[in-house]
């Protein structure tokens, strides 16, 4: 009988992409096992279908309250328990609720980091002391570490591949691809999940003006429905004939659009990981995040622009400084500097001729 393995996948786009080396190694370790990924709805489309056999989507609570979330957690874990008997379960998020979910799933061996006082739920718990200082991708892989077996670093993951290109058609099959703009363009992702990581829209507008003036490139602005107002503001302020590609549907349906872009610019967000995964040269304006732990792993070339003030990186979602000092790490990064980084980097790569289709 096949071994059955349950993975509680990460809750965010960037973290899910950083988990690719984990899933790759897991499949190598258990080539014949039945592997299922349990996922929150907004990350379900990014599960690596060539590496897992099943995707179990965890439903949202019917009532958005603590009690509602708890009832839904109990219901989801029971549904997963009824599917089959799980031999091994891996918990990639560090939350108490994700470990409780695996405990209630009935998995025989439950592996995760002993954080948030959840060690009693994980009968193969791992210490968080060392992995807490690692790149997140390596921390995920650390859950697979066994005595005497070394795992590749996040940086070396693509280096070991014979052809270091992400095979998105196999990983995310069946998605209808959105039409690709005919004029030369670049990808702009102005949104972020936290205010401490979202560069000012006015600075994106100025950068957009400069790129259009110097290279004639239009921006394709991407993001979800929440980023639609940002796209509208940037296009109005910059007066550049760009393309509003926000709220366009599942990310896997936008692969060809991303691949058609000359490069990617955005905040430290899930979309920057998506762009780099597809091989784009990726330029990140980094606020409170710590790139040593969350930098995209490629295979696209990544340039992270930082302003390391004394409190950086705090990794908080909201800046705790008073109004006059708010978001100093981000405020110290000017659009002219970002433009210069892009210009020099593109020139050194020999790819500044954007007249070609």
Residues 152 and 256 in one domain: no
Domain for residue 247, yes or no?
yes
| Separation in Å, CA 152 to CA 91, 145, 192 | 20, 11, 30
What are the backbone angles phi and psi of residue 177, rounded to the nearest 5°? -85, 135
Domain for residue 174, yes or no?
no
Residues 55 and 123 in one domain: yes
Residues 147 and 201 in one domain: no
| Residue 186 three-state SS | strand
Look at residues 242, 250, 269, 233 and name the one whose alpha carbon lies nearest to residue 187. Answer: 242
Give the model confidence (pLDDT) of 162-174 as tens digits.
778 999 999 999 9
**Structure token digits, residue 198:** 């979202």
Residues 196 and 340 in one domain: yes
pLDDT of 231 higher than 70: yes
Q: How confident is the model at residue 148 (pLDDT cuts 50, 70, 90)?
A: low
Give the model confidence (pLDDT) of 180-215 as tens digits.
999 999 999 999 989 999 999 999 999 999 999 999
- Whole-number Å distance between alpha carbons of 260 and 184: 8
pLDDT of 109 higher than 70: yes
> Tell me, what's the pLDDT at 354?
37
Domain containing residue 318: 185-348
Domain count, the chain: 2
Residues 153 and 210 in one domain: no
> Which of 115, 141, 157 represents a domain boundary (last residue)?
157
CB-based contact 258:223 (threshold 8 Å): no
Higher pLDDT, 67 or 172: 172
Domain for residue 166, yes or no?
no
pLDDT of 66 higher than 90: no
Domain for residue 73, yes or no?
yes
Domain for residue 164, yes or no?
no
| Separation in Å, CA 146 to CA 21, 59, 86, 330 | 16, 33, 20, 40
> Tell me, what's the pLDDT at 229?
97
> Tell me, what's the pLDDT at 63?
64
- β-partners of residue 36 are 6, 54
The CATH number assigned to the domain holding 290 equals 3.40.50.2000
Higher pLDDT, 1 or 100: 100
> Tell me, what's the pLDDT at 159?
83
Stretch 58-69: mean pLDDT, rounded?
Answer: 78
Count the residues in the chain: 357
> Which of 141, 157, 173 represents a domain boundary (last residue)?
157
**Structure token digits, residue 86:** 């799980």
Domain for residue 163, yes or no?
no
Domain for residue 354, yes or no?
no
> Tell me, what's the pLDDT at 147?
53
Stretch 44-51: mean pLDDT, rounded?
Answer: 97
pLDDT of 140 higher than 80: yes
Torsion of CA 196, 246, 346, 218, to 10 degrees: -130
CA 197 to chain centre: 14
Give the model confidence (pLDDT) of 248-303 as tens digits.
999 999 999 999 999 999 999 999 999 999 999 999 999 999 999 999 998 999 99
Q: How confident is the model at residue 64 (pLDDT cuts 50, 70, 90)?
A: confident
Q: What percentage of the chain exceeds 90 in pLDDT?
A: 78
Residues 152 and 190 in one domain: no
DSSP E strands: which ranges in the chain? 4-8, 34-39, 54-57, 88-91, 109-113, 124-126, 185-189, 218-223, 243-246, 264-267, 282-285, 302-305
Give the model confidence (pLDDT) of 50-60 as tens digits.
999 999 999 87
Query: Which H, E and C letters describe 251-268, residue by residue?
Result: HHHHHHHHHHCCCEEEEC
- Whole-number Å distance between alpha carbons of 76 and 98: 11
């Amino acid at each position: 009988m096949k071994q059955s393995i349950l993975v509680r996948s990460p809750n965010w786009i960037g973290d899910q992409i950083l988990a690719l080396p984990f899933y790759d190694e897991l499949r190598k370790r258990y080539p014949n096992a039945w592997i299922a990924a349990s996922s929150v709805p907004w990350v379900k489309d990014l599960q690596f279908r060539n590496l897992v056999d099943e995707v179990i989507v965890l439903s949202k609570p019917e009532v958005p309250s603590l009690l509602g979330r708890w009832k839904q957690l109990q219901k989801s874990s029971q549904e997963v328990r009824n599917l089959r008997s799980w031999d091994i379960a891996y918990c990639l998020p560090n939350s108490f609720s994700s470990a409780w979910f695996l405990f209630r799933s009935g998995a025989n061996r439950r592996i995760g980091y002993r954080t948030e006082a959840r060690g009693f739920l994980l009968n193969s718990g791992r210490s968080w002391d060392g992995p807490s200082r690692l790149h997140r991708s390596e921390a995920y892989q650390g859950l697979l570490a066994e005595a005497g077996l070394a795992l590749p670093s996040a940086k070396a993951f693509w280096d070991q591949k014979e052809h270091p290109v992400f095979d998105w058609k196999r990983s995310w099959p069946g998605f209808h691809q959105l039409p690709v703009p005919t004029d030369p363009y670049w990808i702009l992702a102005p949104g972020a999940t936290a205010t401490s990581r979202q560069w000012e829209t006015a600075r994106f507008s100025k950068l957009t003006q400069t790129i259009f003036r110097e290279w004639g490139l239009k921006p394709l602005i991407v993001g979800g429905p929440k980023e639609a107002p940002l796209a509208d503001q940037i296009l109005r302020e910059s007066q550049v004939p760009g393309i509003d590609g926000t709220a366009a549907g599942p990310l896997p349906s936008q692969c060809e659009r991303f691949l058609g872009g000359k490069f990617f610019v955005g905040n430290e967000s899930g979309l920057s990981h998506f762009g780099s995964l597809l091989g784009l040269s990726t330029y990140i304006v980094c606020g409170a995040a710590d790139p040593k732990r969350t930098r995209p792993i490629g295979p696209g070339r990544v340039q992270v622009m930082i302003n390391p003030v004394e409190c950086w990186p705090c990794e908080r979602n909201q800046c705790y400084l008073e109004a006059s000092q708010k978001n100093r790490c981000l405020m110290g990064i000017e659009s002219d500097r970002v433009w210069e980084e892009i210009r020099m980097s593109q020139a050194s790569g020999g790819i500044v001729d954007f007249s070609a289709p």
